[in-house]
Amino acid sequence: MGTREDLRPCAMCATELRGGTAYLVDGVRLGRRRRGAARFTRLLICETCYKRGSPDPDTGLTRAVSARRTKTAEWWGLAGRGPALPPQACLAGCGLTVVRGAEVLMRGVTCSAACRTSLTRTRNGGRGSGRPCGACGTPVTAGRADSAYCDAACRQKAYRRRTAARTPNPTPNPNPTPTPNPRPSPALASTSTSTSAPGPAPAPVPELLAALIPFVNGTTLGISQTLYKTLYRVHVAHLRGHDPAEHIAKLASLNPDRIKIPDTADGHRLRASLRTLRPAQNPHPQS
């Protein structure tokens, strides 16, 4: 009994194709991607399925679409632009006998893209490209004629280098060293030390940190996008140990009585915390 990799089933009825004649046809795979999108490809079908879906040999009438369609695949004609060729063995040596249409530049009959790639590698002799590997610099002496890397490990190493070079913000240090803030925000003056020596970066007002949590941890409707983005930046800066004074100043410039905030208990708490950032403009903050 052959292994699963040795089986070559018909794309329509799942009949084993080895030992018979396979027909290479143009078609689509259905339901293989998200939202059920079709993927155009070439399929191998058995002789029975091909005769059932091909035009009637006596009248020349086209068969119904249902004769060429299943839940997973659909085909419409032989692969190739020329007339049908007689049955020929696949040149890659996979053991299939294939019928397909002729092509002007076709050098031989193959049954699939995998066999065509295998045949190309056999013709090349697996000598590789001879060019230096893109990761380690060693000449590539095995694989395809256009190989750029020695093996999968070098290919992955080069990919990680490219990804790291494109990343604008590397992963922050989980234990950053606080830096002094030469010009703290007026809203944070009460939390800074009264000594003249520079201290660590001031933390946001605790009431504000507690009030913004319900809005930055999920999607909230009915809140100003400007306010949401600024709250999120304050939250991220606090988590990373950065100085949020710039974003706190942006919050202080917003009018808490005019900004769009949900009329909920969390919204009332957030509005009250924003009023504390503007004591001069709000001499009588809401309790």
Q: Which of 119-123, 222-226, 235-239, 276-280 has the lowest mean pLDDT?
A: 276-280
Six token digits for residue 44: 């191998």
List residues bridging with 43 in a β-sheet: 25
Q: Which tens digits make up the pLDDT trace of 163-192?
A: 888 776 655 555 555 555 555 555 544 444
In the chain, pLDDT over 90 holds for what percent of residues? 16
- How many Cβ atoms sit within 10 Å of the Cβ of residue 276? 17
Could you give the C-alpha distances from 247 to 114, 176, 177, 204, in angstroms and in order? 56, 19, 20, 10
The gap between the terminal CA atoms of the chain, to the nearest Å, is 81
What residue spans define the domains of the chain?
A: 7-106, 125-171, 202-275
How far is residue 65 CA from its own chain's centroid? 34
What is the CB-side half-sphere exposure of residue 241 using CA atoms within 13 A?
Answer: 10
Q: Which of 110-124, 166-180, 247-261, 271-285 has the lowest mean pLDDT?
A: 166-180
Cβ within 8 Å of residue 111, ≥6 positions away: 8, 22, 24, 44, 90, 92, 94, 96, 98
Average pLDDT over residues 46-60: 89
Distance between CA 168 and CA 145 in Å, rounded?
35
- How many Cβ atoms sit within 10 Å of the Cβ of residue 205? 21
Q: Tell me: pLDDT of 200 over 50.
A: no
Distance between CA 12 and CA 10 in Å, rounded?
5
Cβ within 8 Å of residue 252, ≥6 positions away: 185, 186, 187, 277, 278
Q: Which tens digits make up the pLDDT trace of 75-125?
A: 999 998 889 999 999 988 888 999 999 988 877 888 888 888 888 777 767
pLDDT at 50: 93
**Which helix (H) or strand (E) is 45 found in, with range?**
strand 39-46
- Which stretches of the chain are DSSP H helices? 47-53, 113-124, 152-166, 206-216, 225-240, 245-253, 265-275
Could you give the C-alpha distances from 89 to 23, 97, 109, 185, in angstroms and in order? 12, 4, 7, 80
By the 10 Å C-beta count (0-12 exposed, 13-18 middle, 19+ buried), 11 is classed as: buried
Instruction: Say if strands 39-46 and 73-78 run parallel, antiparallel, or are unpaired.
Output: unpaired
> In this structure, what are the phi and psi dihedrals at residue 101, rounded to the nearest 5 degrees?
-85, 155
Distance between CA 171 and CA 190 in Å, rounded?
32
Q: Name the one residue in this structure whose structure tokens are 């990761």.
A: 135
